[in-house]
Chains A and B, each alone.
Chain A
Amino acid sequence: MQEEFPMIQIMDQNGKITDTSYIDQIDKSLVQQFYRQLICMRAFDQKAINLQRQGRLGTYPGFEGQEAAQVGSALALEEDDWMLPTYRDHAASITFGKSYNILSSWNGRVEGNLPPKGKNILPPSVPIATQLPIAAGIAMANKYKNSSQAVIAYFGDGATSEGDFHEGLNFASVFQAPVVFFNQNNQYAISTPIWKQMHSETIAQKSIAYEIPGIRIDGNDIFAAYFETKKALERARNGEGPSLIEAVTWRYGAHTTADDPTKYRNQKEENEKRRQNDPVTRLERFMKAYGFWDEKLAEQIKGEIKEEIDGAVKVLETMPPANVNDIYDYMFEKPTWTLEQQKEEYINHLRGER
């Protein structure tokens, strides 16, 4: 099956363009956009982990190693498309939403789940694969309304073992809904490796069962992530239905800051993979080989990013205290008497009243 679903690569590990069909679309502005966002997301991820270590952020699921898959696919979206990320897809949602708002959700603030103004970004899905039937439904509504909006749903390799993965793909397929199922095969569902997750060789081949296009891309190649997602989104917009993309990548770090990957992975092997196949380094190699590299500009971008992320942390750390009313006020459009009573009793308790 790996032969039938070959890994699509536009740029190899040395940064060399191996598929020239997109060459005229690769210009300075696109490359700089890629580079800026990749290093920005890497810096963001490292900052978040540091904050967690310092006790300034709650449990955090890092995405280091997956930046190209997330940034590339997110940049392929149109402004009013829909995005359904998981709890590990902050790079995708920050890139698409142009906002660091999501950071506060990792500090237990519900405000972090609010989409940036005008953006159709759902809060990160914590239960596994349950967002996929919802993505199909959002896309079905788009089709019903003759909207040109497409939908992208992210999920990991472990999600493909859940019933909701199959139900989501089946609904999208039956109703030919305009949705792209974007899998990041980062090789591990917490500690369970992909070869213990499934007996099939690829995730892309699961598309056969639903008779939808399925492709396998090098998820550490930002060009493949960008151009292949763009194609799938265009197919969706043209009424050609859903598709499945398997982006083969690698999660460098732990499942979350509460996990220890040294228990289940060989660190020497990790470091070697990283040296050879890091998505950021690969783009740098490409930029240097094709005349896009500008040392001065890179330094300038890094400075700007530091400022931007420090600004996001400041926003996080200067948020007013969470409002107790928020516990009760958003269950329903109008609170039920049970909620009104429970709220009143608790607020009175806080005030010291009986």
Chain B
Amino acid sequence: MITISKTKQLTLIQAITDGMRTMLEEKEEVVVLGEDVGKNGGVFRATDGLQEEFGEKRVFDTPLSEAGIIGSSIGMAMNGLLPVAEIQFLGFIYPAYEQIMTHATRMRYRTKGSFTVPLVIRAPYGAGVRAPEIHSDSMEALFTHMPGIKVVCPSNPYDAKGLLISAIEDPDPVLFLEPLRLYRAVRGEVPEEKYEIEIGKGKYLREGDDATVIAWGAMVPVAMKAAEQAADKGISCDVIDLRTLYPIDKAIIAESVKKTGRCVVVHEAPATGGLGNDIISIVNDTSFLYMKSPIERVTGADVHVPFWALEEHNIPTPARVTDAIYKVIHF
């Protein structure tokens, strides 16, 4: 039987709101908390209307305190609730880093599963919106390096709703990174009902034979644009949206790279210690003998996100990515 679901045209941020609404409706244990998430609907309006719909008990403002938000959410998660905590910008999460590292991620481990922390932390991340300093950080590798937390990062409205629902359903802590540059950049068809996208699975956005381009979040449209430009020159690329940063989809990387023999990884985070290195390592483990050229990385420099007068110089552009594609082709 074919089920035709009703869909809505939503932006990425509206899809996130819809994901939270779906879960608030379904489970009384779900609570949404953070600075300004109530009446104001969040600084980006991700929680717009949710307090009005579900009441202050379910959707509530907290004091301005990242460690307090995450610490109290850990406690709530351990005691039967399913908190979805908003950190206004990923760059503001540092005061809560200790709570995540010392408690959220290790509670199951240090109690052999006696206590668990089914917590979702939502955080907008990334540069390109001319925000003040700190607001544009893209430090996902701080969390993929952290044992005990899953990290997901959608790049479109459909994935955003499905991945957020999966994150809330996940019995372990999940960091849900929201590319703020894409919040309202595109609209897409999003089913009205509940659906899940498996955490840990990447997706082909484009298929080709000459090179594999791997990206996530805000870099996905950059990678796609570069692949289009390369196609104009007769080079066809696989473009993979990783969608989950921990655990990475090893299979899709291996499959694509074995086919193309060439690989470009794109991320806006600093190069050193960045997730690109893990991807290179996966290629090394799975497809080394298929490679026709060394893997190229197109990343931010090892600098903090520059003040916005210069930030565009640090974010990978389609032109930088096409350069890298030509480099792996013409090695």
Contact = CB atoms under 8 A, between A and B. Distances in A.
B68 A170 contact: yes
Interface of A: 82, 110-111, 113-115, 122-123, 125-127, 130-142, 144-145, 163-164, 167-168, 170-171, 174-175, 326, 330-333, 336-338
Interface of B: 31, 57, 62-63, 65, 67-68, 70-81, 83, 95, 98-99, 102-103, 108-116, 147-148, 150, 171-172, 200, 246-247, 250
Given A130-B98, A141-B80, A144-B57, A333 B67 contact: no
Nearest to B118: A333
A136 B110 contact: no
Contacts of B247: 336-338
B80 A145 contact: yes
Given A113-B114, A114-B114, A167-B67, 5 more contacts: A126-B102, A134-B72, A140-B75, A144-B31, A144-B76
A168 B68 contact: yes
A110 B71 contact: no
A137 B102 contact: no
Contacts of B67: 130, 133, 163-164, 167
B110 A332 contact: no
A4 to B, nearest CB: 26
Contact of B76 (A122, A131, A140): A140
10 contacts: A113-B112, A134-B74, A138-B78, A138-B79, A141-B75, A163-B67, A164-B98, A171-B65, A333-B172, A337-B200
Contacts of B98: 127, 130, 164
B108 A332 contact: yes
B148 A331 contact: yes
Contacts of A138: 75-76, 78-79
Given A171-B68, A331-B148, A134 B171 contact: no
B292 to A, nearest CB: 26
Contacts of B74: 133-134, 137
Contact of B112 (A125, A175, A330): A330
B185 to A, nearest CB: 31
Contacts of B109: 110, 330-331
A32 B75 CA distance: 35
Contacts of A125: 103
Given A141-B79, A170-B63, A122 B115 contact: yes
Contacts of B70: 133
Contacts of A175: 72
Given A136-B71, A138-B76, A171-B65, A123 B111 contact: yes
A140 B102 CA distance: 21
B72 A130 contact: no
Contacts of B57: 144
A136 B172 contact: no
Nearest to B248: A338
A115 B114 contact: yes
Contacts of B65: 167, 170-171
Contacts of A142: 79
A331 B108 contact: yes
User: Which of the listed residues B77, B79, B103 has the most CB atoms from chain A within 10 Å of its own CB?
Assistant: B79
